[in-house]
Chain A
């Protein structure tokens, strides 16, 4: 039984932060949950999907974040509670709708969880989604602990209903993926039946009226936040330093003050409701000290807004020294951590404390290099993307016109790096490879003589590349789109998508056929198996010679991890130790130096290649790249 559906109120339970958010939503009576997967948010909908049937929820993996927000909003419009969760980039996609929804308002509680990824651990960008709350005039909550993640989510639905606007919750990787205890609340009973009151259309117009109403809602929100227990002060009555923090920064500051032994010298203002600012609450505590340090993830959101507030109330609050990202007491890029916070406080309070040698990172790297081999980010053993990039690389070399490969978001983003033979030259937002290709594909008229290609995964294709492909067909852009169809949203954890024949709730679903879709657009189309590297290379080369219009090449081969779960290896691979002539071969270790599938290993003792049978998935591609034909594949 999933911890999410346990009906044991008061029981302390270990949750991952994202599960605590999911549980909070369940306890609040959420009925509709929709998302597009994206780290570090994916487990919210992932875990909800596992209890959907049991708890009578509707949970879906939507085609993209905008659709997901719209699906969740439909619940709100029908008087149900809805939830959507996304990573920071997802909110950019959904924002067009959000910037209308704020004005039109909502009915049933609607919560938008955005999990930011400081340091871009699994993202293409670093972004602070909190600025949307200010831009859209929407309430924003920031949980600091797993317990708060649960409580705040539960509370957010009621707040949304009371204010008639969606409520944003901002998490970050260290909360979403951390584990901690949360006390279970009650599971809801007697959930409402959906109904849309057609006599009351929900539209943002008249804008002057709804915009004014939104500002009024925010004032009301602020009043509610003044009283919120999610905001607190801890510390002496007259601290030398006031630390304002939110999210996981709260734990870092607690740890830093304890380690430095300065709990009696510094006070902490911990905010859980970060927009609109609880101004009276803040004013009361900002009076306590003249030096204010801001500790928060990514952008100086509280820092800038509180500075602005202090300027408004300068007469009352007095002159302050503000410390934080602007003063460079804390870094203004990358994730913060207890060490960074400790150093900042130590510097301000002039405490002598060495949390960790300043040379630690360098020493650790040096020590690691003695024992651990340098490891590039790589594709898994038997990954079809490696085979695809191999063929692409060779086709472009043969073509010789310096073809431009415009990349997209997915495992195949590694095409930028040696794993994909550095073939990919751009990588931005979902579907942007296809969009950029639309532009490049028009530049032959100005003398561009480089062929244009874009690579796009199957999930990304559904998410955002289809409009670009329609545009290409319509405007006669000239490029080759490679759809790397591995039948999985592999990078975020194998969530189902419109091409997989499954939904978040499990049952069989119709497959949205990429081929049929492309054909209906009138694009030239071929389908190849990327494991046949020669055939794939020939197809890419030939398609590059066609200078008219958009061409689609679907390279279909199931993700090696998905396949390994389902079936045994296609082939047993072995290296014939007689035929492999090792260093004597002119190939200079083509298999392990260039192709670099982790299933291949170079044995320094024998000076020959061998197969790592534990991880080889038996795709057989390496057999085709060995110039000595020393790698053999035996049908299993």
Chain B
């Protein structure tokens, strides 16, 4: 697939407000930087081909090619992507459950992978005291919890992947949102693969994601919403409640209706087809109506193996996902695809734009999602 440079990235992605702030283009050159959640271009670069363009999840993506590369299969399952198993899981340790975002599953799995030397280092997302997400390289299992939790704000996690430092033999694990997972998979099929770390990224845990917020305006709004109090934790309660719970330093909880924060959703989330991180080894997300448990989707052999080993080691507890929840998950995922395809059509970017799906598949997604909606 044709690769291009920063100028094309600027006109095709940055200026169209399609940057996901995943960080895949950062720390590769001096010209792109992330500043308070924003991608900043400092200077022009006239290289006709660059890793910035190749890695970007919002430049042309050939999902078929990536599926062949990652799973050795065609892109077929249009609901939640290819999967082996879907379960509910939670960390066995009550401590992890308390400190993690929902159930501690992600922290537990990463800790396990590091301890078992499946990976030597993990790229996770930690948050500065003012809730600005940043990538962090973790090498010791006991450091994992420094990256637990979410702020629902997009952040350049993959900058830490690019930056390292890594030893030549390091196997790397990454936890990321669907766009970040996509960026890493693009590295795997990139014409500049020799100069990226794709072959070293061994384990990818993908997070469910419906959208992410733009840091600066969102935090500015939130700050006024909680009367300037210091914000400790953010959490979104699953449907039917759908509130942003803002816990301030004085342990006060503020319920902010989701509709209030919708204006801060990134434009680019509107064209995202992926709710469940379909290209990960293992995807983790909430379970509607069930507290303290996560949905876990195993997709690759490695993903399945890790989950099974962690469960056997008593790190995790699993349960079958109730059929009704599984149905809801598929519907929600399909709806996101449908909305994204319609938005892409509206923006005139479906054919020429970033995603390459067959017409049949697009038609199928639209009709099935419609059925699900009705």
Which of chain B's residues have a CB closer than 8 A to the CB of A588? Answer: 29, 31, 45-47
CA distance A593 to B46 in the complex (A): 10
Q: Say yes or no: A586 contacts B35, CB within 8 Å.
A: no
CA distance A497 to B41 in the complex (A): 39
If A400-B35, A586-B51 touch, whether A627 touches B42 (CB-CB below 8 Å) is no
Nearest residue (CB) in B for A586 is: B29
CA distance A625 to B43 in the complex (A): 12
Q: Say yes or no: B42 contacts A394, CB within 8 Å.
A: yes
Q: Does B28 contact A (CB under 8 A)?
A: yes
Q: Say yes or no: B41 contacts A397, CB within 8 Å.
A: yes
Chain B 2-37 residues near chain A, CB threshold 8 A: 28-31, 33, 35
Chain A 414-455 residues near chain B, CB threshold 8 A: 421
Chain A binding surface, main DSSP class: helix
Task: Select A587's contact among B29, B33, B35, B44, beta carbons within 8 Å.
Answer: B29
Q: Say yes or no: A627 contacts B35, CB within 8 Å.
A: no
Task: Select A397's contact among B28, B42, B45, B51, beta carbons within 8 Å.
Answer: B42
CA distance A627 to B51 in the complex (A): 16
If A398-B35, A400-B35, A400-B38 touch, whether A586 touches B28 (CB-CB below 8 Å) is yes
Total A residues in contact with B, Cβ cutoff 8 Å: 14
Task: Select A627's contact among B30, B38, B40, B44, beta carbons within 8 Å.
Answer: B30
CA distance A590 to B30 in the complex (A): 8
Which of chain A's residues have a CB closer than 8 A to the CB of B30? Answer: 586-587, 590, 625, 627
If A586-B51, A588-B45, A588-B47 touch, whether A398 touches B29 (CB-CB below 8 Å) is no
Q: Does A87 contact B (CB under 8 A)?
A: no
Taking the nearest CB of chain B, how far is it from the CB of A386, in angstroms? 14
CA distance A593 to B6 in the complex (A): 15
Which of chain B's residues have a CB closer than 8 A to the CB of A587? Answer: 29-31
Chain A 613-636 residues near chain B, CB threshold 8 A: 625, 627
Which of chain A's residues have a CB closer than 8 A to the CB of B28? Answer: 586
Q: Does A393 contact B (CB under 8 A)?
A: yes
Which of chain A's residues have a CB closer than 8 A to the CB of B45? Answer: 588
Total B residues in contact with A, Cβ cutoff 8 Å: 17
Taking the nearest CB of chain B, how far is it from the CB of A132, in angstroms? 45
Which of chain B's residues have a CB closer than 8 A to the CB of A586? Answer: 28-30, 50-51
CA distance A397 to B35 in the complex (A): 9
CA distance A251 to B267 in the complex (A): 68
Which of chain B's residues have a CB closer than 8 A to the CB of A398? Answer: 33, 35, 40
Q: Say yes or no: A590 contacts B40, CB within 8 Å.
A: no
Which of chain A's residues have a CB closer than 8 A to the CB of B29? Answer: 586-588, 627
Nearest residue (CB) in A for B50 is: A586
Taking the nearest CB of chain A, how far is it from the CB of B44, in angstroms? 8
CA distance A393 to B41 in the complex (A): 10
Q: Say yes or no: B51 contacts A400, CB within 8 Å.
A: no
Which of chain B's residues have a CB closer than 8 A to the CB of A393? Answer: 42-43
CA distance A519 to B50 in the complex (A): 49
Q: Does A562 contact B (CB under 8 A)?
A: no
Nearest residue (CB) in B for A399 is: B35
CA distance A587 to B32 in the complex (A): 10
CA distance A625 to B30 in the complex (A): 9
CA distance A586 to B43 in the complex (A): 13
Taking the nearest CB of chain A, how far is it from the CB of B267, in angstroms? 16
Which of chain B's residues have a CB closer than 8 A to the CB of A627? Answer: 29-30
Which of chain B's residues have a CB closer than 8 A to the CB of A590? Answer: 30-31, 43
Q: Does A351 contact B (CB under 8 A)?
A: no
Q: Say yes or no: A594 contacts B40, CB within 8 Å.
A: no
CA distance A210 to B79 in the complex (A): 94
Q: Say yes or no: A400 contacts B40, CB within 8 Å.
A: yes
CA distance A588 to B32 in the complex (A): 13
CA distance A421 to B40 in the complex (A): 16
Nearest residue (CB) in A for B30 is: A627
CA distance A593 to B41 in the complex (A): 16
CA distance A588 to B42 in the complex (A): 13
Which of chain A's residues have a CB closer than 8 A to the CB of B44? Answer: 594
CA distance A397 to B41 in the complex (A): 7
CA distance A590 to B57 in the complex (A): 26
Chain A 562-606 residues near chain B, CB threshold 8 A: 586-588, 590, 593-594
Which of chain B's residues have a CB closer than 8 A to the CB of A421? Answer: 43
Nearest residue (CB) in A for B52 is: A586
Query: Which residues of A are interface residues toward B (Cβ below 8 A)?
Result: 393-394, 397-398, 400, 421, 586-588, 590, 593-594, 625, 627
List 6 contacting pairs A-B, 8 Å CB cutoff, sorted by A: A397-B35, A397-B42, A398-B35, A587-B31, A588-B45, A625-B30
Taking A400-B35, A590-B43 as known contacts, 20 extra A-B pairs with beta carbons closer than 8 A to each other, sorted by chain A number, are A393-B42, A393-B43, A394-B42, A397-B35, A397-B40, A397-B41, A398-B33, A398-B40, A400-B40, A586-B29, A586-B30, A586-B51, A587-B29, A588-B29, A588-B31, A588-B45, A588-B46, A590-B31, A593-B46, A627-B29
